[in-house]
Amino acid sequence: MHAGVARESFRYPVVARQKRSLDSVRTANLQWARKFGLIPSQQALVKIEAIQIEQMAAAVYPEASKQVLALCTDLLLWFFISDDQYDERALGADPMRMEQITNDFMQVLRKGISISETPSPLSRALMDLRSRVHSQVPPTWYARFVADMELYFQGCLTESKDRASGHTPEFEEYRTIRRASVGTYPCFDLIELSLGIFLPEPLEDTPLLTLLRDVSTDIVAWVNDVVSYPKESAHSDPHNLVSVLITECGISLADSVKKTVELHNEQMVQFERLASEFLSNKPPAWAARYIEALRSWMRGVFDWSFQSGRYSNDYVRLSLQDSEDLVGPG
């Protein structure tokens, strides 16, 4: 159970999943993280091992080749380490510094170079990820990926401004922020790489597809908000649907968790309705595979969330002790 809720309370589709050996993926991921200075201490290693990022990557990208799975695993770890730098430290309530950092990340993604003469560990790691992604995708896809990464950074910056001002957003405002800061859109872009297909651009020309990605994002965000509530409340972070509903509706923690699960399940019903509509109206050849991949992404995150040590009491304790700076000069 997480935050007092059983996993059986969540509604999820059954997805096919191949069993694959992940020992080499895990070893390569740790080597990559060490290479770029993302494991500066034994405590950092304990946290990274607790995440079990290779398990998540294999679950959300089940059709990825070995090379693509390695790339996706490294990028997912980059997201988690980056998130912890914002959520667990004073940096998360310093919008001016956050903007400098995210501007540097965007420079890396756009041009492959850092603004700083001494790039941070996270900037150097992102340069590597950028090179590996850029070399195997069409320009139009990469432009969308960069735009989706920028949206993620904008969400993180908005959260930073809220922390600095002590503002707790209301539901509709929070959903907009969370759709950005949860970081799913660039991760959904990588689905195409894992399937060996690239969707037509712009995505807005396929409205149902855009809606499916939005609803999938809500589903991932709401289950994450339930399992991460103890971690985020330990850092007094208001950016969690459970916290938002407690404040906005004046309800108890238990009722807020229950309401969050209800909203999650409503969106799952909405996803299946939209998927059925999309597939019943002369869908493009890639539609069924992409929709199934979105299901795998949602179900994979859900299963991983209940087995990963990232949301355990031990992880929270280590986070409260952690002060290593991975966004400062390297």
Query: pLDDT per residue over 111-148, tens digit each?
Result: 999 999 999 999 999 999 999 999 999 999 999 999 99
Q: Return mean pLDDT, the chain.
A: 93
Residue 322 pLDDT: 73
How many residues does this entry show for the chain? 330
Q: Which residue has the tokens 């969106």?
A: 267
Nearest CA among 6, 3, 1, 12 for reference residue 245 = 3
Cα separation, 250 vs 110, whole angstroms? 44
Residue 193 pLDDT: 97
Q: How many CA atoms lie within 13 A of 253 on its CB side?
A: 9
Domains, the chain, with CATH or none: 22-45+52-321 (1.10.600.10)
Cα separation, 245 vs 252, whole angstroms? 9
Angle between helices 66-87 and 42-51 (to 10 degrees): 120
Query: What's the whole-number mean pLDDT along residues 265-279?
Result: 97
Q: Is residue 294's pLDDT more than 60?
A: yes
Angle between helices 171-181 and 139-165 (to 10 degrees): 130
CB burial string 128-151: b at 16+ within 10 A, e below: bbbeebeeebeeebbebbbebbbb
Which residues, in sequence order, are bridge partners of residue 2?
Answer: 5
State CA 225 to chain mean position distance: 12
Intra-chain end-to-end CA distance of the chain, in Å: 40
Question: How large a percentage of the chain has pLDDT more than 70?
Answer: 98
Query: What's the whole-number mean pLDDT along residues 278-292?
Result: 94
40 close to 326: Cβ distance less than 8 angstroms? yes
> What's the predicted TM-score (pTM) here?
0.95
Q: How confident is the model at residue 330 (pLDDT cuts 50, 70, 90)?
A: low
Residue 88 pLDDT: 67
